[in-house]
Chain A
Amino acid sequence: MNNSKQTVQIVQKILTANDDLAQQNQTLLDSKGILALNVMASPGSGKTSLIIRTIESLADEIQIAVIEGDTAPVTIDSDKISGLNIPVVQINTGGDCHLDANMVRLGMDSLELTDIELLIIENVGNLVCPASFRLGEHANIVVASIPEGDDKPYKYPNIYRGLDAMILNKIDLLPYVDFNIQYFKAGISALNPGVEFFELSCKTGEGIDRWSDWILEKVKEK
């Protein structure tokens, strides 16, 4: 017996296990005709408010369910949504900063999928890493808000990537904050060619219609 050293060439993506699981989730969602949205944002930009506005706007037309990701077993967000008579599953990540495909699958398993047309997945409030973990979603949405500042896509290009839609919330604050929308948009578009932009206010309701119409269009395409 002899000890031999050797180099094994690999070149493989490291997050494939999650990617594979995400693909299985998407296949299941497709078979049920469900559109899934992965909603990401930093804490406080208005994810839950947006989801509530979206439900209020669309609940008469389509069947909606929500998966809520939180780092701790607090049910503040899911309570708000179940108050609207919408099926909601809370996933506690146990401190982890993002949802992954496996957690979302567990959430999907406790929903009555045949009754759903739109599944909104509210990711953990954090911009740094949810984007690295595909869930099986059909569209990635980031919610940003006016107080966060217009230079963020330039300073943190790695976290505003892979988006299908960008929501700029709290536009009712524009008169009070120096925020150049064109500058912000140019940065987001450079990182995500063809991305859809929605400027809205969950507080006043301005811009919610255009956002809801976009979702409705996507649900009908399924």
Chain B
Amino acid sequence: MHELSVTEALLNTASDYAKRQNANKVTVLNIIIGKLSGIIDDSVQFYWDIIAKETIFEGSRLNFTIIPAKFECQNCQHQFEMEDELIPCPRCQSMDLLTIQGDEFLLESIEIEKDINE
């Protein structure tokens, strides 16, 4: 259920920008998801296809860019990426870490179609 409210928020955010541009149609949405955000792209896609129906978003494509979680070791300042499991600093084994990337859930850009007068 979580991704339904998330997907509705995506629709609302994108609608604001599409309206400002007087778009007739939105064809692509480029979305950035950080590994630590807890957002599941497949699930967002599933709800998107349902809620986009009969809107200017119908048939649009969601492009997800997943960015990894990144930590900075507070002991030796080494920066490293996390795959799936939380790990100590690979250089000095410290667990004194600062998260510097991975929380993101952003709408990066949209591709739209609109009428123009020649």
Min distance, Cβ A195 to any Cβ of chain B, angstroms: 13
Binding-face segment, A56-64, A83-91, A153-161 = A153-161
| Cross-chain contact A161 with B107 (CB below 8 angstroms) | no
Interchain CA distance A156-B113 in the complex, whole Å:
41
| Cross-chain contact A190 with B106 (CB below 8 angstroms) | no
* Chain A contact residues, majority secondary structure: mixed
With a cutoff of 8 Å between Cβ atoms, the chain A residues found around residue B5 in the complex are 96, 98, 100, 133
| Cross-chain contact A16 with B36 (CB below 8 angstroms) | no
| Cross-chain contact B111 with A5 (CB below 8 angstroms) | yes
Also in contact, A15 and B105, with CB within 8 A (given A154-B85, A157-B36): yes
Also in contact, A14 and B98, with CB within 8 A (given A97-B1, A131-B38): no
Min distance, Cβ B20 to any Cβ of chain A, angstroms: 8
With a cutoff of 8 Å between Cβ atoms, the chain A residues found around residue B87 in the complex are 154
Also in contact, A191 and B86, with CB within 8 A (given A7-B111, A17-B9, A128-B2): yes
Interchain CA distance A131-B39 in the complex, whole Å:
11
Interchain CA distance A119-B98 in the complex, whole Å:
30
With a cutoff of 8 Å between Cβ atoms, the chain A residues found around residue B74 in the complex are 193
How many chain B residues sit at the interface, stated as a range, is 35 or more
Also in contact, A158 and B117, with CB within 8 A (given A8-B112, A191-B99): no
Also in contact, A132 and B107, with CB within 8 A (given A4-B113, A6-B114, A8-B112): no
Interchain CA distance A203-B51 in the complex, whole Å:
46
Residues of chain B from 27 to 72 with CB closer than 8 A to chain A in the complex: 27, 31, 35-39, 69, 71
| Cross-chain contact A1 with B117 (CB below 8 angstroms) | yes
| Cross-chain contact A2 with B116 (CB below 8 angstroms) | yes
| 7 tightest A-B CB contacts, nearest first | A129-B2, A157-B86, A190-B97, A186-B95, A158-B36, A154-B86, A158-B38
Q: Chain B: residues with CB nearer than 8 A to chain A? A: 1-2, 4-6, 9-10, 12-14, 17-18, 21, 23-24, 27, 31, 35-39, 69, 71, 74, 82, 85-88, 95-99, 102-103, 105-118
Q: Chain A: residues with CB nearer than 8 A to chain B? A: 1-18, 95-98, 100, 128-129, 131-133, 153-155, 157-159, 161, 186-187, 189-191, 193
